[in-house]
Structure 1
Amino acid sequence: VLRGFSFGLAIVIILKQLPGVLGVQADGDVVHLVPGLLARAGQWNGRGAGLCAAALLLLFLLRRRQRWPAGLIVIALGIGAGRWLDLPGHGVALVGAIDVSLAMPVLPRLTQEEWTHLAELAFALALILYAESYGAIRSFALKHGDAVAPERDLLALGAANVLAGLLQAMPVGAGYSATSANEAAGATSRLAGLVAAAVVGVIVLTLLPLVALTPVPVLAAVVIHAVSHTLNPVSLQPYFAWRRDRLLVLAAIAGVLLFGVLDGLLVAIAISLLLMLRRLSRPGMSVLGRLGDSHDYVKLALHRDARAQPELLILRLDEPLFFVNAERSLHLARAMLEERAGPLRKVILSLEESPDLDGSSVEALREFAVFVRRQGLALGLARLKEPACSVLQLALRDMLTVQGGPVLLLSGLSVAEAVRRLDDATPAK
């Protein structure tokens, strides 16, 4: 989801630069932005588009010289070109004056209605900031083989935004375009953040009048160049080669483009959860047999040397048991038990894939245990994790020592040990 989100977000960022480049008004999400731009094709400013193209070409040429500050060079040349060619006189917008004032930390004085409205906006903004920030963090960590610490990153973002709020500053996040620009400039350590902060401080104190003269198409070119690294289909190729999660990647890209940043991310997450539930809802049940004279019990369908044990049926749930698949899985176990040819006295159900059990699963297991007992069979629940074993001890306590059909809870033991203990608990007839 994050890979697709990052890819789609890069497209959105690039498309959002086009109105400033072309000198036309077009707002809204991508679905409305692109038709709006096309509808105003006759109003496009050719000089702005040409300036952006020239700046992009120079940026890509300077990419080979990583030690050169390509962005700074292009912006400086753009300022010079703007004054020489009188770009404002030809309809090319400049960044304009930036009002900078030093604010003291203060708590805002708002009405209850304003606080309510602010809380709604803050919730959505927090999701967007964290989604974009973690998307950038995760994507670039994967790209460079670095580890991530989501809790630490979330704490840093929270602290930064609290401080920004007290100083009446803009919301703070690890913006994707800024992160891409940082990487494109050759940043390799945390020191890059301190250097960038120092440079911004110097610019704010000394160069703001010059920054105001930066042509908007040149600034757009710097942003487009920074995020263009992300528009590499190679990063998505493994999901298609593995034939895994292709739909999720495409859904995340399409969601961001069609529904916007926040809604697109939520749509992709929802699809991810639905696909996971769909996969887990399909009951997978394996019949195990003993591999030769060893203590290994393996899937009969995969190992020709494995043999089923006489008077014993060993089943293993291949997916975690929970409310979505509990009824269907244990109904399948009943059907396999009834279809077993030859005499049968004992049944073992391995729950190694289920570290814990919800209420629906416990109820379904209790009904299965009653069914097995009515068949006059012994039941062993093997490979139980501690949480699952604890709840089953409470749910099945009236059946744990029933004569003629005991139910054994075998916590943490192998299937081989479960077979031995069930043999000891079940007298031979």
Structure 2
Amino acid sequence: MTTPPPIASFPLAARPHGLARWLPIIAVLRNYKRAWLLQDLSAGLVLTAILIPAGMGYAEAAGLPAIYGLYATIVPLIAYAIFGPSRILVLGPDSALIPLISATVLPLAGGDPAKAIAIAGMLAILSGGMCIIAGIAKFGFITDLISKPIRYGYLNGIALSVIIGQMPKIFGLSITGNTIWDELITLVQHVHDGKTNSMALAIGSSCLFVILGLKHFAPKISGVLIAVVGAIIVSSLFDLSHQGVSVVGILPQGLPTWQIPNIAPVKFDTLFSSALAIALVSFADMTLLSRTFAIRGGYKVDRNQELIALGIANISAGLFQGFSVSSSASRTPVAEAAGSKTQITGLVGTICIALVLLFAPMLLQNLPQAALSAVVISSGIAIFEIAGTLRLYQLRRFEFGLSIVCFAGVAFLGVIQGIFIAVGLALLAFVWSAWRPHYAVLGRVDGIKGYHDVSRHPDARRIPGLVIFRWDAPLFFANAETFCERVMQSVVTAPTMTNWVLVAAEPVTDIDITAADAIAELDKTLCQAGIELCFAEMKGPTKDRLKRYGIFNTLGKENFFPTIGQAVDAYLEVNKVEWKDWDE
């Protein structure tokens, strides 16, 4: 896959200030270029064709009337266009949230559509409020846990899920399954049994051929728009809806209105836990997708503003008869593939949906579902990160493994499960590396300044009676015992009887209380053997911690040296050791 080059000339790469920081739409309009308008308009028209059936379908899956899926699309897109920092992120009803929404709404509503709408709206308001609080509290730092291997695995998993999920519609089939592999197996069985709708397959494959062909040979032409318009024309001319080809159909009419959800106060306790789960899922999904597309586009997003924008979008949805929303991993790539440059694309999509609902509910009635699936599949193909994953395999096998685990989790278990598994493994790998860090015994190498690892420089000369030991990690409860063991091992294996152990402590950025106590015990053990424990190049904050623990005075102020060189000079003087250095 070829990653789009960064748009280095886009002024929004700089961090907005003042009101524009809280209302990113201001920076968009200030720096908007005329050349982008046609691309945003075209992408908005293409996006509309995806937003309408997707919104209606997700509403029905959540146990709500179809039109409320469009309400949950219109208002959040407007809110995010105003407050959202990402250039092309598309918000709306999302498959990751639907199980959480339906599991809460259906039992509480008791079959009453009005109650279901009110409960879904209140869920959106509560989850949105939680996101805003998290954004104000600057919890966006959590996205630092999302490394490049996890992003690659996430994108590849999403791409595969999107493609397999849309394949049945290309073949004119309606298939459901607990996992994408259930769907794939069922699809193969149906195709083998001859249940394929040949007309739907012809429409879908033709649209896919047009989209991919124009993207390769004429990238400036919107193949997605041509495919959608062409599919509508063919479907209308040949009346494909009466030949078993599934089409979008006539849309419901009406725009959303302001409405505060009216539910019994006793239900708030029940809704709170569900709203928290929805906030966590939407936050995890959105921050990863936003950061991924920002990196692909060569710009940055304010992670905390992203949380606030998500919260405002959800509250807006709840107040205008919608339900909880998040970023869309299938519609955002469609916007990107269609040439979207800014959130104007989302506003165009919103206006188009509103106009269709008001004046032309029959406009898209003949659009084949197979054509829509071709659009989504083409966007899925575009987000595969094959080159980056292969690079991980060549350079860093462990990170490649993390990417594959994330990919498998997203593809087999679901987006959120896959992300959490990969993040958990990444944290475990970090703890493991800090638990068993690199360490070295240092010596002097002729002609090279400083002190160097004797295992890497066999010709290094060691000062008689002095063990210079370097520990390349913070000292904390998990590795404190290992540190002591390695120091004692270095004393035992020293070529001469040891008088001093000098710890080169520059890499030790932190020492917790467990490690401090372990150092005190090590000092006692060494003292009993007639060996002095000293430290060199310890950073001020780390030294301050030892002072607070009371260990600094126990070890002795005179045993802490600014540099290794000064410590060596002191050792030579105190112990009357003859030593001729190469640079003397």
Give matches, 1:261-272, under 5 Å: 261-272=415-426
**Hey, what's the Cα distance between the residues in 1 that align with 2:186 and 2:459?**
68
RMSD: 2.8
Closer, same or farther: CA 316–209 of 1 in aligned 2, 3 Å: same
* Amino acid in structure 1 at the alignment position of 2:533: L
Look up the match of 1:15. 164
| Equivalent-residue separation in structure 1 for 2:157 and 2:358 (angstroms) | 36
Select 2:177's aligned residue among 10, 19, 27. 27
- Counterpart for residue 518 of structure 2: 364
Q: Equivalent residue for 2:213?
A: 61
CA deviations 1:150-199 (Å, max 9, x no partner) are 23322322222222222232434332222212221223445544455455
Q: Aligned to 1:208, what secondary structure does the other structure show?
A: coil
Out of 40, 43, 46, the position equivalent to 2:198 is 46
Helix, strand or coil at the partner of 2:537: strand
- C-alpha displacement at 1:295, in angstroms? 5.4
Q: Which residue pairs with 1:278 in the alignment?
A: 432
Q: CA offsets per residue over residues 299-351 of structure 1, 9 Å max, x none?
A: 22223564222321111112333333221232121111122121322111123
Query: Which position in structure 2 is the counterpart of 1:231?
Result: 384
Return 218-227 or 163-172, whichever deviates more. 163-172
Matched, 1:5 2:154: yes
Q: Any residues of structure 2 matched to 1:15-414 within 5 Å, and which?
A: 15-21=164-170, 22-41=172-191, 42=193, 43-63=195-215, 64-99=217-252, 101-111=254-264, 114-189=267-342, 191-244=344-397, 245-292=399-446, 296-303=450-457, 306-393=460-547, 394-397=549-552, 399-401=554-556, 408-410=559-561, 413-414=562-563
Judge conservation of contact 2:330–2:380 (CA < 8 Å) in 1: yes
Higher mean Cα deviation, 329-338 or 203-212? 203-212
Question: 2:196 & 2:273 partners in 1: Cα distance?
Answer: 38
Alpha-carbon separation, structure 1, partners of 2:174 and 2:345: 36
Contact 2:473 2:509 in 1 (8 A): no
- The whole-number CA distance in structure 2 between the counterparts of 1:192 and 1:304 is 63
User: What is the TM-score of this pair, normalised by structure 1?
Assistant: 0.87
In 2: Cα distance, 1:203 partner to 1:70 partner: 22
Deviation of the 1:361 alpha carbon: 2.2
- Quote the sequence identity (%): 26
SS of alignment partner, residue 349 of structure 1: strand
Distance 2:265 2:559 in 1: 60
Report the 3-state secondary structure (helix = DSSP H, G, I; strand = E; otherwise coil) of the residue aligned with 1:236. Answer: helix
Contact 2:175 2:183 in 1 (8 A): no
Q: CA deviation at 1:101?
A: 3.8
Distance 2:529 2:490 in 1: 14
Structure 1 residues 58 and 293, CA gap change in structure 2 (3 angstroms): closer
| Amino acid paired to 2:414 | G
Is 48-57 or 336-345 further displaced after alignment?
A: 336-345
The whole-number CA distance in structure 2 between the counterparts of 1:348 and 1:249 is 41
Superposed CA offset, 1:246-286 (max 9, x none): 11111111111221111122122222222333333324220
Aligned positions, number: 422
Q: Deviations over 1:10-29 (max 9, x none)?
A: 11112222343332231322
Gaps of 5+ in 1: none
CA distances 1:193-244 after superposition (whole Å, capped 9, x unpaired)? 4455455554454443212332111111111111211124113121012134
Structure 2: distance between partners of 1:235 and 1:113: 51
In the alignment, is the contact (CA less than 8 A) between 1:313 and 1:344 conserved in 2?
yes
Is the 1:408–1:422 Cα contact (8 Å) retained in structure 2?
A: no
Q: Matched residues in 2 for 1:164 and 1:130: separation? A: 16
What amino acid maps onto 1:61 in structure 2? G
Indicate if the aligned counterparts of 2:254 and 2:358 stay in contact, CA closer than 8 A: no
Aligned 8 A contact 1:129 1:173 in 2 = yes
Q: Secondary structure at the match of 2:326?
A: coil
Q: Which runs of 5+ in 2 are unaligned?
A: 1-149, 578-584
Residue pair 2:255, 2:357 contacting (<8 A) in 1 also? no
Amino acid corresponding to residue 363 of structure 1 in structure 2: D
